[in-house]
């Protein structure tokens, strides 16, 4: 290996390469969308070209030879695309996406010489090579093949156009290409002259460029040659536009001057339809290196972001959590002092400082959490890719829609969420939708939670078949459910149709029946298509989501489609809990799932089928005694309390001895070794002791199964 | 013990030999017998009276509870129960005892032991297969038997990582440190860490 895993800069490289690949993949898809409507965005092409170029540079620096070669091929492909030498075909898109995937694997393994990677390298290289270097005839034919080839020898595209050779000299090949394209399509060209003071020119220039992009295509930004003022920097921004010159600068910073540039809009040119994509041969293909040509455009990349290892943030978060604990202790000490010495003995400055400290700590905590938040689009783009890949494999016509992908979630959660979501998405594409349909990925924030939905408009899940499968698999409670249905069918009243009873039962108990989908053993990988194949490995999804203190639910109508709904806390790090006492031990219940608390009266309890339930207003809730659930051996006190917990329609009462109080806690995972211990979402460090945080989702589903 | 050689191979992966075909083991006492673990697995020693343990209901009995250690939560294994040396309940922990904090493949855990013994270096030729007459339950956990001379043992009472090699507070060559201790042969049962942390959970719990 030419590198050392402990090498810090390698970590930087990994992070940067990952980010570049992420943006490459995203842009490859965006290009695909553009290609579908016959228009490749120049901006995206430029961005993607630069990303490939940078990737080539950094991988070369770190001695990843094959990665360098592949990113070079990608760079070439993007260059050809933006020069209109190549059309964006599905085969090119697939080759590009696969290349990204192989490179991702290199990043993951932090090495590229693993045997299993070699086949991928060969395949990608061949596929890209075929796309990029194919002879013109073999290349995907540009739609208007008969279009007259651009006259390569002439300086300009129009009859009376001569481009100033001084200008041509400073343009990159690509810029020149854009310039000619615009001339050909009859747009007018202008030079926008602007000046900025030395210390703020970068921001000013950026602003003006952005504003101009709104009304025109910006071809190039050139330092102005006609500079008069020593204290200012002046630029000429070369633009092409359809708009009338007199309104062009209306929304642009004052102080800019519009100069006509060489070509007039030919008065009688019929408005040429925007010629889609590829033209014939390029004007004299230039052999010089891509680097030399793009230097001008890559130089100005002023990054304002810092990459940070998530572990460092975790450490900071832990410290903040501990500080908050100490703050609580200070508060208590203050209270005790006041009780012992009288409130007057406590100087007001102490109280004030205490209050301020509390405020700032809360602020710090919130800011820290914000730092960890990233938009879900980071994960969604991977899902989108997966859907398209699958759909192409299966030959289905599936549209992917994203909603709310800007919703922010803890970085760690986004990463952890991708696998379970992928599972749901595969199910939807594979089994939910027969041939044509839409998959919707939707995220939204609800209070302290984020809801993520995977919805398809496919065949839906049939509760009857789910129940039959559950019985066949001998899942707990399935037999009872079936028995209930059979009893109702036997007790048929005259005039009642058997089918009606069945349908009503299935409708009323649908959510309970769908609960079987998430049970282990409902479906195995080898028997995929039993219930429209749904429910494959859903228990794994559920376990994973529960591990993130989240909850997953399903809604489905036959013939209309299916929605899987995942609810997650925005950040894992700090949660509010209700502390409760059971016997000698305290437990924490996430406050987000607590609906209300009340004292348990003897008369509130009754039993249905040997399960304890309580009447709460007009609802009957199952009761779970925490003492019994966890097999704690201590005697039950006279007075007890019920904590009503639940998500959505699933509610239940947890019976505890005492309500201790609310607190903010830093929740820690129990770790890999204890992954088999169920019922706890994690542990919270309260300074002097550690308490367990109950996994309400697990307890609820166990209670419904009991 | 049909799989001894295979298991040993796997075990050897965890116990990198020192120069000269020597292995370093961290040893401790349980019910009057000396046990050892590969030294590279041991992170630190904690006094039981200095910690508080959170009972973990619904876990196997040999898990004594959770220990919170500088921001992370680790399982605490009652080694006596795990090895079948005792059937006394895990809690409360023996007051004078110690917790050996280890990490195996990045997973940290604590072992409850009666007393810490020291660090011994055992040459390959003094490492043997466990005796045939052991109970199958114990045989699972014991990888090998090491023989050493008591004068070669470095005493360790406190071991904090990052403070140099755990030669212990008594530095200098072991023989000198022993202050003319008489030579005595000892045996130590080397435990298989991989087996200790295999808590027997299925990947996905059924029903």
As a whole number of Å, the CA-based R_g of chain B is: 17
Higher pLDDT, A152 or A697: A697
Distances, alpha carbon B90 to alpha carbons A500, A680, B50, B82, in Å: 58, 20, 17, 10
Q: How far apart are the C-alpha atoms of B154 and B174, rounded to whole Å?
A: 6
Which residues in chain B have their CB less than 8 angstroms from residue A675's CB? Answer: 201
Partner residue facing A677 (CB), from B52, B56, B204:
B56
What integer pLDDT is reported at residue A193 of this predicted model?
83
What integer pLDDT is reported at residue A265 of this predicted model?
44
Least reliable range by pLDDT among A231-235, A535-539, B201-205:
B201-205
Partner residue facing B205 (CB), from A631, A669, A676:
A676
pLDDT band at A226, cuts 50/70/90? low
Identify from A523, A536, A586, A676 which residue to disrupt to test chain B contact, counting B C-beta atoms within 10 A and taking the largest count: A676
What integer pLDDT is reported at residue B26 of this predicted model?
92
Q: How far apart are the C-alpha atoms of A537 and B67, rounded to whole Å?
A: 33
Mean pLDDT, to the nearest integer, of A562-581? 83
Higher pLDDT, A231 or B194: B194
Least reliable range by pLDDT among A7-21, A74-88, A598-612:
A7-21
What integer pLDDT is reported at residue A692 of this predicted model?
94
B92–chain A nearest CA distance, Å: 13
Higher pLDDT, A39 or A52: A52
Mean pLDDT, to the nearest integer, of A463-471? 88
Distance of CA A71 to the CA centre of its chain: 25
Mean pLDDT, to the nearest integer, of A244-263? 75
CATH code matching the domain that covers A375-569, chosen among 3.30.565.10, 3.40.470.10, 3.40.50.300, 3.90.1110.10: 3.30.565.10
CA angle A282, A288, A294 (to 5 degrees): 85
Neighbours of A425 (CB within 10 A): 25
Mean pLDDT, to the nearest integer, of A90-108? 86
Superfamily name and number for A574-705: CheA-289, Domain 4 (2.40.50.180)
| A318 close to A666: Cβ distance less than 8 angstroms | yes
**Residue A333 pLDDT more than 60?**
yes
- What are the pLDDT digits (tens) for A535-571? 457 887 887 787 676 788 899 999 899 999 998 877 6
Q: Which CATH class is domain A165-268?
A: alpha beta
- What are the pLDDT digits (tens) for B111-138? 999 999 888 888 888 888 887 777 776 7
Mean pLDDT, to the nearest integer, of A398-406? 88
Which residues in chain B have their CB less than 8 angstroms from residue A518's CB? Answer: none
Percent of chain A with pLDDT over 90: 8
What integer pLDDT is reported at residue B102 of this predicted model?
93
What integer pLDDT is reported at residue A585 of this predicted model?
92
What integer pLDDT is reported at residue A227 of this predicted model?
52
B206, A632: Cβ pair inside 8 Å?
Answer: no
What integer pLDDT is reported at residue B18 of this predicted model?
54
Q: What is the DSSP string of A685-702?
A: E-SS-EEEEE-HHHHHHH
Q: Distance from first CA to last CA of chain B, Å, rounded?
A: 33
What integer pLDDT is reported at residue B125 of this predicted model?
85
Region A8-133: CATH code? 1.20.120.160
* Structural domain boundaries in chain A: 8-133, 165-268, 310-373, 375-569, 574-705
**Residue A85 pLDDT more than 70?**
yes
What integer pLDDT is reported at residue B112 of this predicted model?
94
| Of B168, B169, B185, the residue nearest B24 (C-alpha) | B168
Least reliable range by pLDDT among A678-692, B147-161, B173-187:
B173-187
State whether residue B19 sits within 8 Å of chain A by CB.
Answer: no
Residues belonging to chain A:
706
Indicate the DSSP class of residue A430: I
| Of A133, A671, A592, the residue nearest B74 (C-alpha) | A671
* Structural domain boundaries in chain B: 4-164+183-196
State whether residue B128 sits within 8 Å of chain A by CB.
Answer: no
E strands present in B48-196: 53-54, 63-69, 72-78, 98-104, 107-113, 115-123, 127-128, 142-149, 154-155, 185-191
Partner residue facing B205 (CB), from A668, A678, A688:
A678
Partner residue facing A543 (CB), from B57, B63, B204:
B204
Which residues fall within 8 angstroms of residue B114, CB to CB, at 6 or more apart?
A: B28, B29, B30, B31, B94, B96, B97, B98
Mean pLDDT, to the nearest integer, of B106-110? 88
Distances, alpha carbon B49 to alpha carbons A445, A691, B82, B96, in Å: 46, 19, 22, 7
**Residue A236 pLDDT more than 60?**
yes
Indicate the DSSP class of residue A431: I
Higher pLDDT, B6 or A552: A552
| Of A87, A92, A85, the residue nearest A149 (C-alpha) | A85
Region B4-164+183-196: CATH code? 2.40.50.180
**Residue A21 pLDDT more than 60?**
yes
Identify from A625, A674, A702 which residue to disrupt to test chain B contact, counting B C-beta atoms within 10 A and taking the largest count: A674
Q: If residue A479 lies in a helix (H) or strand (E), which one and from where to where?
A: helix A478-490
B207, A668: Cβ pair inside 8 Å?
Answer: no
Partner residue facing A674 (CB), from B59, B72, B202:
B59
Highest mean pLDDT among A388-402, A569-583, A676-690, B26-40: B26-40
Q: What is the DSSP string of A554-623?
A: EEEETTTEEEEEEEEES-SSEEEEEEEEETTEEEEEEGGGEEEEEEPPGGGEEEETTEEEEEETTEEEEE
State whether residue A676 sits within 8 Å of chain B by CB.
Answer: yes
| A104 close to A194: Cβ distance less than 8 angstroms | no
What integer pLDDT is reported at residue A389 of this predicted model?
82
CA atoms B93, B98, B101, B104: torsion sign: negative
Partner residue facing B54 (CB), from A520, A679, A691:
A691
Strands B142-149 and A690-694: what pairing?
Answer: unpaired
**Residue A362 pLDDT more than 90?**
no
B204, A630: Cβ pair inside 8 Å?
Answer: no
What integer pLDDT is reported at residue B76 of this predicted model?
94
Please count the residue pairs, one from chain A and one from chain B, whose beta carbons lie less than 8 angstroms apart.
85
Q: How far apart are the C-alpha atoms of A137 and A135, rounded to whole Å?
A: 5
Mean pLDDT, to the nearest integer, of A268-288? 44
**Residue B202 pLDDT more than 70?**
no
State whether residue A678 sits within 8 Å of chain B by CB.
Answer: yes
What integer pLDDT is reported at residue A363 of this predicted model?
84
- The widest CA-to-CA distance across chain B, in whole angstroms, is 62
Q: How far apart are the C-alpha atoms of A534 and A433, rounded to whole Å?
A: 11
**Residue A9 pLDDT more than 70?**
no
| Of A477, A542, A500, A568, the residue nearest A698 (C-alpha) | A542
CA atoms within 13 A on the CB side of A387: 30
What integer pLDDT is reported at residue A427 of this predicted model?
84
B52, A668: Cβ pair inside 8 Å?
Answer: no
Locus of tokens 């490179």: A103
CA angle A465, A466, A469 (to 5 degrees): 85
Higher pLDDT, A537 or A683: A683
Q: How far apart are the C-alpha atoms of A253 and A264, rounded to whole Å?
A: 25
Mean pLDDT, to the nearest integer, of A368-374? 82
State whether residue B59 sits within 8 Å of chain A by CB.
Answer: yes
Query: What ipTM was reported for this prediction?
Result: 0.77
The encoded tokens of residue B39 equal: 């030294």
B66, A670: Cβ pair inside 8 Å?
Answer: yes
């Amino acid at each position: 290996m030419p590198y050392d895993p402990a090498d810090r800069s390698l970590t930087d490289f990994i992070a940067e390469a990952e980010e570049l690949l992420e943006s490459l993949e995203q842009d490859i898809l965006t290009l695909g969308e553009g290609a579908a409507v016959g228009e490749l965005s120049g901006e995206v092409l430029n961005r993607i070209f630069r990303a490939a170029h940078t990737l080539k540079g950094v991988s070369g620096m770190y001695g990843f030879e094959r990665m360098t070669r592949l990113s070079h091929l990608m760079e070439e492909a993007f260059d050809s695309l933006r020069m209109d030498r190549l059309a964006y075909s599905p085969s090119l898109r697939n080759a590009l996406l696969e290349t990204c995937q192989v490179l991702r694997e290199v990043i993951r393994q932090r090495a590229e010489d693993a045997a299993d990677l070699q086949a991928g390298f060969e395949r990608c290289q061949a596929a890209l090579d075929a796309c990029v270097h194919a002879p013109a005839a073999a290349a995907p034919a540009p739609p208007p093949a008969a279009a007259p080839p651009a006259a390569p020898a002439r300086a300009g595209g129009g009859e009376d156009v001569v481009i100033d050779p001084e200008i041509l000299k400073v343009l990159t090949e690509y810029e020149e290409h854009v310039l000619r394209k615009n001339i050909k399509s009859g747009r007018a060209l202008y030079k926008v002259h602007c000046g900025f003071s030395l210390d703020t020119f970068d921001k000013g220039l950026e602003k003006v460029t952005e504003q101009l992009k709104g009304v025109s295509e910006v071809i190039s930004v050139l330092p102005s040659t006609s500079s008069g003022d020593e204290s200012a920097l002046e630029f000429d921004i070369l633009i092409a536009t359809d708009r009338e010159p007199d309104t062009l600068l209306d929304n642009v910073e004052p102080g800019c001057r519009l100069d006509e540039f060489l070509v007039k809009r030919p008065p009688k040119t019929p408005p040429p339809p925007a010629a889609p994509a590829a033209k014939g041969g390029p004007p004299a293909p230039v052999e010089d290196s891509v680097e030399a040509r793009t230097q001008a455009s890559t130089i100005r990349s002023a990054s304002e972001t810092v990459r940070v290892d998530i572990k460092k943030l975790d450490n900071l978060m832990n410290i903040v959590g501990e500080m908050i604990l100490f703050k609580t202790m200070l508060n208590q000490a203050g209270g005790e002092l006041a009780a012992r010495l009288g409130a007057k003995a406590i100087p007001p400055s102490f109280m004030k400082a205490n209050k301020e400290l509390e405020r700032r700590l809360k602020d710090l905590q919130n800011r820290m959490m914000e730092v960890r938040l990233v938009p879900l689009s980071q994960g969604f783009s991977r899902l989108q890719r997966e859907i398209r890949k699958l759909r192409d494999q299966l030959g289905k016509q599936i549209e992917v829609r994203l909603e709310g992908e800007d919703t922010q979630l803890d970085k760690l959660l986004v990463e952890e969420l991708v696998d379970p979501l992928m599972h749901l998405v595969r199910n939807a594409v594979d089994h939910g939708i027969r041939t044509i349909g839409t998959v919707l990925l939707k995220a939204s924030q609800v209070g302290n939670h984020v809801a993520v939905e995977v919805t398809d408009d496919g065949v839906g899940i049939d509760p009857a078949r789910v129940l039959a499968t559950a019985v066949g698999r001998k899942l707990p409670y399935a037999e009872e459910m079936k028995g209930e249905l059979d009893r109702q069918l036997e007790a048929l009243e005259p005039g009642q149709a058997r089918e009606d009873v069945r349908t009503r039962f299935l409708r009323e108990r649908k959510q309970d029946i769908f609960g079987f989908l998430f049970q282990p053993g409902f479906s195995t990988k080898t028997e995929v298509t039993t219930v429209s194949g749904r429910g494959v490995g859903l228990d794994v999804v559920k376990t994973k989501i529960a591990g993130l203190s989240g909850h997953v639910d399903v809604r489905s109508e036959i013939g209309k489609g299916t929605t899987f709904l995942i609810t997650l806390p925005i950040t894992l790090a700090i949660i509010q809990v209700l502390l409760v006492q059971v016997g000698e031990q305290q437990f924490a219940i996430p406050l987000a799932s607590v609906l209300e608390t009340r004292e348990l009266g003897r008369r509130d309890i009754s039993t249905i089928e040997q399960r304890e339930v309580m009447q709460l207003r007009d609802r009957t809730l199952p009761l779970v005694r925490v003492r019994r659930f966890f097999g704690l051996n201590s005697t039950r006190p006279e007075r007890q309390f019920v904590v009503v917990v639940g998500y959505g329609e699933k509610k239940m009462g947890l019976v505890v001895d005492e309500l201790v109080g609310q607190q903010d806690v830093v929740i820690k995972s129990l770790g890999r070794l204890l992954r088999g211990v169920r019922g706890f979402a994690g542990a919270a460090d309260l300074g002097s002791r550690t308490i367990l945080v109950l996994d309400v989702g697990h307890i609820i589903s166990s209670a419904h199964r009991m | 013990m049909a799989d001894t050689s295979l298991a040993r191979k796997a075990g050897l992966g965890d116990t990198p030999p020192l120069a000269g075909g020597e292995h370093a083991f961290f040893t401790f006492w349980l019910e009057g017998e000396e046990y050892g673990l590969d030294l590279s697995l041991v992170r630190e020693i904690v006094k039981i009276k200095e910690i508080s343990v959170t009972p973990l209901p619904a876990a196997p009995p040999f898990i004594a509870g959770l220990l919170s250690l500088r921001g992370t939560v680790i399982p605490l294994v009652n080694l006596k129960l795990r090895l079948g040396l005792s059937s006394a309940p895990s809690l409360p922990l023996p007051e004078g005892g110690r917790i050996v904090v280890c990490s195996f493949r990045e997973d940290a855990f604590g072992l409850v032991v009666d007393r810490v013994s020291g660090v011994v270096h055992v040459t390959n030729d003094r490492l043997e297969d466990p005796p045939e007459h052991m109970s199958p339950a114990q045989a699972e956990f014991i990888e090998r038997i090491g023989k050493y001379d008591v004068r070669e043992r470095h005493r360790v009472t406190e071991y904090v990582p990052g403070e140099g090699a755990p030669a212990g507070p008594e530095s200098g060559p072991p023989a000198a440190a022993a202050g003319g201790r008489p030579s005595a042969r000892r045996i130590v049962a080397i435990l298989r860490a991989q087996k200790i942390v295999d808590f027997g959970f299925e990947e996905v719990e059924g029903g």
